[in-house]
């Protein structure tokens, strides 16, 4: 009789674990808390689903206590393996600048490919079944356990399931309306695992500044650097989106995981935005001086009309010329009244526009979370718990996160494949005496 694997969560990593375990001969049941599976998967890549990234250094791009684990598993199951896997599901992929998408450019095609394969493999998918509690039948603690597998019992609101192996793929706290409400963290903690405090990652950043509403809606290329106090943390270049509360866009998302909301130990965070990264400061200063001499009777904004978005011009000038309380209403001097020092200051402001960071947007607005189950308590090659035999973790539930661009979905595929395969191989190599679970359900009385 095939061993029984129960997977909590039908997101990206849970679906991958289910397919992998079923293909390896396990009898698989997937419990999903929502009415539909893969809700977050449908949102990825703005509905196009950025499946992975052809970055040759992809395994080195991850953060968290599972950094080495992610390096191992994405090195073993990387972008090429992911593309071959999806091709095996009948899903063709296309690449643009290293970013890999389904040829249809539809996340729904990715989800449907998984569901078709689950049906082919006779995997049971139970919807509206949120896991409330999980425990081992033998009741032994991790330190008392001598290696016997026991039977896992999983309680939902309406049913009790039993299985040889439990894979927790419940996700993080990111976008809780999709089902990722932190349930997995709670269950992991109940089982004795350490949970590194979760926080938003790949999130918009909130900043101070009365000028922000005036700049809201602008998209501009910029090189953005994040500082903690005076220490440079990281720099990124790309499209910067200005909002009424701060800044957003991929260039900001890549930096947001390093920001501690509310600061830590008195730390302060701030951003430096180079609004014209292709040009040197000295060149811009000379250009401004030449323009000022040619346009003596024009007001100062005329100098920047061919350089910056019109909404950003009063913002930059207000910061350098101190012209009134409101950037949008400020009276500005004529070009003939601008001294060389003032023009140098405008060039400096363009190259180093500073934003005081107040935090990041909440879990409702982030794409992934940092933090999660401490990977020091997980076997790196299989993702099996060091505390409980036959308990596995995958995807966002673990303390692993990567940058934008398909890296986090690649981690979902790699971790799901590792856990699903290891779980199936382990129980299929056990004797019936060693693996007594029978994965049946008993309805609550």
pLDDT tens, residue by residue, 186-209: 999 999 999 999 999 999 999 999
3-state secondary structure at position 131: coil
Domains, in order of start, for the chain: 4-199+370-443 (3.50.50.60), 205-277+356-360 (2.40.30), 281-354 (1.10.8)
| Dist CA 168 CA 183 (whole Å) | 10
pTM: 0.89
pLDDT exceeds cutoff 50 at 221: yes
Predicted confidence (pLDDT) per residue in 299-329, tens digit: 999 999 999 999 999 999 987 876 433 444 4
pLDDT band at 421 (very low <50, low <70, confident <90, very high): very high
Q: Average the pLDDT over 388-404 and give the result.
A: 97
Closest CA to 313 of 242, 255, 245, 256: 242
The packing angle between helices 67-76 and 407-429, to 10°, is: 80
pLDDT exceeds cutoff 70 at 443: no
3-state secondary structure at position 330: coil
In sign, the C-alpha dihedral spanning 215, 217, 221, 227 is positive
Could you tell me which residues are beta bridge partners of residue 231? Answer: 228
The pLDDT mean for the chain works out to 91
| Dist CA 403 CA 163 (whole Å) | 35
Q: Check residue 327 and give its pLDDT.
A: 41
Q: Check residue 262 and give its pLDDT.
A: 58
Question: What distances in angstroms separate CA 101 from CA 81, 104, 403, one per listed residue?
Answer: 14, 8, 17
pLDDT exceeds cutoff 50 at 237: yes
| Dist CA 343 CA 284 (whole Å) | 9
pLDDT exceeds cutoff 90 at 242: yes
Q: Check residue 427 and give its pLDDT.
A: 85
| Dist CA 8 CA 26 (whole Å) | 15
Could you tell me which residues are beta bridge partners of residue 27? Answer: 4
133-137, 343-347, 425-429: the lowest-pLDDT one: 425-429
């Amino acid at each position: 009789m095939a061993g029984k694997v129960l997977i909590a969560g039908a997101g990206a990593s849970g679906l991958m674990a289910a397919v992998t375990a079923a293909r390896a001969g396990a009898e698989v049941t997937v419990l999903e808390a929502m009415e539909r599976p893969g809700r977050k998967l449908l949102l990825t890549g703005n509905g196009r689903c950025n499946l992975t990234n052809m970055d040759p250094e992809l395994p080195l791009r991850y953060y968290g206590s599972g950094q080495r684990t992610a390096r191992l598993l994405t090195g073993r199951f990387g972008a090429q393996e992911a593309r071959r896997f999806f091709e095996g599901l009948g899903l063709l992929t296309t690449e643009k600048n290293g970013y890999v998408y389904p040829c249809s450019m539809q996340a729904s095609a990715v989800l449907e490919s998984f569901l078709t394969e689950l049906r082919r493999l006779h995997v049971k998918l139970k919807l509206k079944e949120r896991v409330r509690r999980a425990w081992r039948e033998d009741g032994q603690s991790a330190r008392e356990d001598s290696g016997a597998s026991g039977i896992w019992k999983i309680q939902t609101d309406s049913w009790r399931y039993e299985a040889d192996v439990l894979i927790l793929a419940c996700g993080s706290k990111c976008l809780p309306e999709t089902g990722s409400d932190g349930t997995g963290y709670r269950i992991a903690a109940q089982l004795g695992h350490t949970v590194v405090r979760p926080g938003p990652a790949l999130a918009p950043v909130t900043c101070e500044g009365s000028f922000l509403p005036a700049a809201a809606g602008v998209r501009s290329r910029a090189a953005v650097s994040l500082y903690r106090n005076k220490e440079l943390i990281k720099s990124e270049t790309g499209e910067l989106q200005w909002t009424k509360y701060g800044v957003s866009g991929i260039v900001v998302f890549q930096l947001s995981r390093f920001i501690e909301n509310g600061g830590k130990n008195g730390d302060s965070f701030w951003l430096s935005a180079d609004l014209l990264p292709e040009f040197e400061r000295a060149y811009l200063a000379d250009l401004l001086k030449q323009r000022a001499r040619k346009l003596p009777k024009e007001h100062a904004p005329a100098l920047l009309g061919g350089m910056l978005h019109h909404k950003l011009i009063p913002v930059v000038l207000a910061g350098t010329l101190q012209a009134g309380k409101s950037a949008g209403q400020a009276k500005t001097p004529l070009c003939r009244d601008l001294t060389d020092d003032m023009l140098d200051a405008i060039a400096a402001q363009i190259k180093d526009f500073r934003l005081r960071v107040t935090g990041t947007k909440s879990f409702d607005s982030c794409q992934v979370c940092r933090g999660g189950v401490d990977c020091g308590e997980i076997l790196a090659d299989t993702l099996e718990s060091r505390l409980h035999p036959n308990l596995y973790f995958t995807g966002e539930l673990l303390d692993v996160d990567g940058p934008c661009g398909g890296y986090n979905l690649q981690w979902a595929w790699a971790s799901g494949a590792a856990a699903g395969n290891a779980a199936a191989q382990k129980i299929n190599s056990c004797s019936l005496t060693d693996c007594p679970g029978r994965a049946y359900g008993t309805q609550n009385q």
